[in-house]
Structure 1
Amino acid sequence: MGSTSLEATPKRRHHLRELIGDEPWSRFWVVVSAFAVLVFTFGAIQIARLTMLSAYDEAAHLDYAWKVAHGQLPFPGSLLSPETLDSWSCRGQHNLTLPACGSAAGNGDYPARGENYLMHPPVFYAVSGAFARAVSALGIVDFADAARFASLIWLLAGMVVLYAALLVWRMPWKVAAPVVAIIPSIHMIFQSSTTVNNDASAVFAGGLAVYALGRALKDGRYGFLFPTAVTFVVASLKVLNAIPMIGVAGALIVAAALNRGSSEFPRIRQALFSAAGIVGATLLVNIGWNLVRSATKTPGWVSPNAGVNSRDITGLPFDEWVKTVFSGMTSIGYGYVRPDAHAEPDIAWTSLLSVILLVAPFVVLVVFREHDARWYIGAAAVGAMLALPASVQLQTYLASGGTSYFPGISMRYGLSTVPLLFAAASVVVHERRWTIAAWVTAGAAVVVLAYSSLFA
């Protein structure tokens, strides 16, 4: 095994090159351009073909983006805008019967009382909404399609950040590029990135987590500000986007504990402050935004979706919670499949990737040792997968006033952990010199993506 131990951590470099390790900028931009062609080619086809709104609350996400773009902040119980209702009716949604297009039906004639029930922070919607308003003003596409293109940009940004993160980990571009190119072929990620949904920011959030961990353990930069700021940003896009950073916090604490006797410990010890910043930023966004939402919601308002996904707790919540403690490790999830987007190869492909990606962190933990920086990629990934169900249950418990739990946690809620899994896989690929296999897999991913976009 090559030496990438914590004791061999290189000196800090104070120039632009440190952003992408030792990679030439010229080749970096060539690879990024290839990612852009991949994402926008198949993404544009998907958006053009599948015009109906997704059952994953796309109408509510669309309304949130539209209102923020027009200087409004929807509150729990606020009515969907007339523009959103019209778009919903005219586009349709395969699992719902909606009022006719152009009927100007009232909110009460729509599902969920025609209300916006989303509780997410507004940053994702502010960015996507501003982009969609500017693009739709050109008259080429409407606001909904422009907002969907914004989701594609989030996916591309995530792929670029993850690629840069793997370069910081000193992964050769011949390994990093094909590994990252596989990401859009994961059904749930591609579906979220071709609809209006804040899950489109998941790869961006996870890529930043991989970058933050590499910045600390490979470049020896254990500052408090960077991981704290990253966590605040990703949690402001979606609170559960902070899950991979929680995994990073755990990995840094473990690094400090297991390397106590090393000559590098004084710098490793600073990781504890980084971890404190990560946890603090997560709590600040979560608690702060919940307070804002509680203060602005309609008095006595109850979500129209209350009880749909949650169940009542009987006695203490531990029996209910323990049933889901390992649910973050079960599958990366094929998820909901809209009938107009069904592709049989996707099922087999996602199942195959699920096995490979979920095993990868544990392979890293077995193959490497705690004095090797790469070991902590596996530790961060496992920590994030364990943190996912705990975070979902805590959110549900607090939001319900301690009366409910969430019985069916899927990896859709933890899509931001997927880049950590890809980082672990890239470490194994590099160590075993499976570069050709990585390129063949990337080629197969493009074929699956093309089939899903063109023929499904």
Structure 2
Amino acid sequence: MGTALAIGLFVLVVATVQIMRVTEISPIDEATHIDYVWRIMHGGLPHRGDLYSSFTLEEWSCRKQASVYNKLPECGVTDPSQFGVIMENYNAWQPPGFFAVVALMTRIGMAVTSLDPVTLMRVSCAIIVSVGMMMVYALMRMWSLPRGLAAPVTLLLLANPFTLMMATTVSTDAPFLVFGVLSAIVLTRELSGRSAALLALIAGACAGLVKTITLASLVIVLGVLGLVALVRLVHGRDRWWRPLLTVVAGVTGGGLVTLIWGRYVAAHTPTGWENRVLGQNNTEYVGSPFDEWLPTLTHVFGYTSGSWEGSPVTTYYGQLLTNVAGLALTVAPFCGLIVLRGRERLIAGITAAGPVLVVLLVQIQSWVREEVYFPIVSARYGVTLIPLTALVLGLLLRRLKKRGQVVVWCLCAVVLLLVVADALGVGRVS
């Protein structure tokens, strides 16, 4: 417990330092998320067609956003006509679960500190990511990795750019580690012969309350459990059907919440409403769907593409860490397929195929909803698979003797030093 708390505290401290240094708004939909949280804090919900609140516009004009810098007015302006950007909160259709949690944490923060609301929203996300890192460590221990190995492998996830990005901005992806670990525990329990139906139900419902793509890792795990049940049936195993109970529970939890929220959104969508961001990151089909999807199938591997860093923390060290993390998280699953055995190899197989399956989930969802596709699929859609991938890395390193573990700790120390240097802006790219 003490090691997990130390990991969480370290992540929170580094994230807080970066939050204080980077004030600008992230282009990864942060303005829409700030607006959503602010509305919930004041007893409302945004709906399709709603414009940004005056609070959001003021924060946007003062904090700025590098990607649309010339389209934002001077600090303090809240007149929508002075903004050269889309004025509609285009993420108003998303479920309120994440935003409600951040709104509550922000309200508590405002009661006990003098920090401004946006900073507190970001600190709330940092706390969520810190809890996620603690859960990753707990997952490692659940698979019998020694403390001396579970801790450094968990901390190495700080090299992945999404970890600190989601801990330092108001992002619906902040719970990615939490839901990734919950999916991994569902799989672990079933492979150990214990029922995970209740956990799958709760995880599915909670993930559905955040956003649909948060369900990605759970959907993949449930698909694997369906195959496990089929194999057990073919081999005449007793209680072969038990994994199917978990599958049904997970699908029910996630599906029911998604269906109910979809009905709510449809009922509150104005007549004649048009999607203002359609065509921004996606495009209409020219050929057959699979032809368009084919070049995108490898986009999620490595879990680094589509990340963002504010200019004060855009450093050469950070770029090096991103490349190293991407390489490690790409290679580990395939090494696991070769080296690991039994249920450990199954985990490796999931993490090797998972990035491709995530792309297909994203493309199919876009096809069904709006008959468009993404020419570039951001790796953040697959980040809930990172805990399982880190577990595979830990299982590969478990064979190391004492000297090998010392090397891992030395590597971890170097990574943490570079992470801190990056957060402080040392070696900043001019």
Could you state the TM-score of these two structures normalised by the residue count of structure 1? 0.86
Q: In the alignment, which residue of structure 2 is the partner of 1:381?
A: 351
Q: In the alignment, which residue of structure 2 is the partner of 1:208?
A: 182
Aligned counterparts of 1:380 and 1:194: Cα–Cα separation in 2 = 29
Cα deviation, 1:50-92, whole Å, max 9, x if unaligned, reads 1111111111110111111221111122111111111111212
Aligned counterparts of 1:445 and 1:311: Cα–Cα separation in 2 = 39
Q: In the alignment, which residue of structure 2 is the partner of 1:182?
A: 156
1:9-158 aligned within 5 A: 28=1, 30-95=2-67, 96-97=69-70, 98-103=72-77, 105-118=78-91, 119-158=93-132
Alignment match of 2:270 (pick from 298, 301, 305)? 298
Counterpart code for 1:250: G
Aligned counterparts of 1:387 and 1:69: Cα–Cα separation in 2 = 36
Q: In the alignment, which residue of structure 2 is the partner of 1:431?
A: 399
2:333 paired with 1:365? no
Cα deviation, 1:428-448, whole Å, max 9, x if unaligned, reads 011344422332232122112
Q: Does the Cα contact within 8 Å between 2:303 and 2:329 map onto a contact in 1?
A: no
User: Quick one: structure 1 residues 383 and 222, their matched pair in 2 at CA, closer, same or farther if it must change by over 3 Å?
Assistant: farther
2:163 paired with 1:193? no
Aligned counterparts of 2:318 and 2:240: Cα–Cα separation in 1 = 43
Q: In the alignment, which residue of structure 2 is the partner of 1:335?
A: 307
Could you state the TM-score of these two structures normalised by the residue count of structure 2? 0.91
2:208 paired with 1:235? yes
Aligned counterparts of 1:288 and 1:171: Cα–Cα separation in 2 = 41
Q: Does the Cα contact within 8 Å between 1:365 and 1:375 map onto a contact in 2?
A: yes
* Deviation (angstroms), 1:332: 3.2
User: Quick one: structure 1 residues 269 and 422, their matched pair in 2 at CA, closer, same or farther if it must change by over 3 Å?
Assistant: same
* Deviation (angstroms), 1:316: 3.6
Cα deviation, 1:132-177, whole Å, max 9, x if unaligned, reads 1221234510110000000011101111222222222222222211
Cα deviation, 1:184-233, whole Å, max 9, x if unaligned, reads 23212211210111111111111212222222223x21242221221221
Q: In the alignment, which residue of structure 2 is the partner of 1:320?
A: 292
Aligned counterparts of 1:275 and 1:66: Cα–Cα separation in 2 = 36
Aligned counterparts of 1:268 and 1:149: Cα–Cα separation in 2 = 45
User: Quick one: structure 1 residues 330 and 159, their matched pair in 2 at CA, closer, same or farther if it must change by over 3 Å?
Assistant: closer
Aligned counterparts of 1:145 and 1:389: Cα–Cα separation in 2 = 33
Aligned counterparts of 1:384 and 1:51: Cα–Cα separation in 2 = 34
Counterpart code for 2:411: T
Structure 2, unaligned runs of 5 or more: none
Q: Does the Cα contact within 8 Å between 2:8 and 2:134 map onto a contact in 1?
A: no
Q: In the alignment, which residue of structure 2 is the partner of 1:247?
A: 220
Identity of aligned residues (%): 27
Q: Does the Cα contact within 8 Å between 2:7 and 2:155 map onto a contact in 1?
A: yes
Q: Does the Cα contact within 8 Å between 1:250 and 1:383 map onto a contact in 2?
A: no
Q: Does the Cα contact within 8 Å between 1:244 and 1:420 map onto a contact in 2?
A: no
Counterpart code for 1:146: L
Q: In the alignment, which residue of structure 2 is the partner of 1:391?
A: 361
More displaced 10-residue stretch of structure 1: 334-343 or 119-128: 334-343
More displaced 10-residue stretch of structure 1: 249-258 or 426-435: 249-258
Alignment match of 2:138 (pick from 159, 164, 178)? 164
Aligned counterparts of 2:410 and 2:301: Cα–Cα separation in 1 = 26
* Deviation (angstroms), 1:334: 6.5
User: Quick one: structure 1 residues 417 and 278, their matched pair in 2 at CA, closer, same or farther if it must change by over 3 Å?
Assistant: same
2:198 paired with 1:225? yes
Counterpart code for 1:351: N
Aligned counterparts of 1:228 and 1:187: Cα–Cα separation in 2 = 30
User: Quick one: structure 1 residues 312 and 334, their matched pair in 2 at CA, closer, same or farther if it must change by over 3 Å?
Assistant: closer
Aligned counterparts of 1:203 and 1:155: Cα–Cα separation in 2 = 7
Q: Does the Cα contact within 8 Å between 1:166 and 1:210 map onto a contact in 2?
A: no
User: Quick one: structure 1 residues 315 and 353, their matched pair in 2 at CA, closer, same or farther if it must change by over 3 Å?
Assistant: closer
Secondary structure, aligned partner of 1:125: helix
User: Quick one: structure 1 residues 334 and 63, their matched pair in 2 at CA, closer, same or farther if it must change by over 3 Å?
Assistant: closer
* Deviation (angstroms), 1:45: 0.9
Alignment match of 2:253 (pick from 253, 277, 281)? 281
More displaced 10-residue stretch of structure 1: 55-64 or 132-141: 132-141
Q: In the alignment, which residue of structure 2 is the partner of 1:447?
A: 417
Q: In the alignment, which residue of structure 2 is the partner of 1:17?
A: none
Aligned counterparts of 1:375 and 1:395: Cα–Cα separation in 2 = 29
More displaced 10-residue stretch of structure 1: 283-292 or 201-210: 283-292
Secondary structure, aligned partner of 2:173: helix
Counterpart code for 1:420: L
Secondary structure, aligned partner of 2:38: helix
Aligned counterparts of 2:260 and 2:84: Cα–Cα separation in 1 = 30
Q: In the alignment, which residue of structure 2 is the partner of 1:407?
A: 375
Q: Does the Cα contact within 8 Å between 2:125 and 2:174 map onto a contact in 1?
A: yes
Q: In the alignment, which residue of structure 2 is the partner of 1:422?
A: 390
Aligned counterparts of 2:145 and 2:113: Cα–Cα separation in 1 = 43
Aligned counterparts of 2:254 and 2:408: Cα–Cα separation in 1 = 35
Q: State the Cα RMSD in Å.
A: 2.1
Q: Does the Cα contact within 8 Å between 2:25 and 2:64 map onto a contact in 1?
A: yes
Q: Does the Cα contact within 8 Å between 2:318 and 2:418 map onto a contact in 1?
A: yes
User: Quick one: structure 1 residues 285 and 444, their matched pair in 2 at CA, closer, same or farther if it must change by over 3 Å?
Assistant: farther
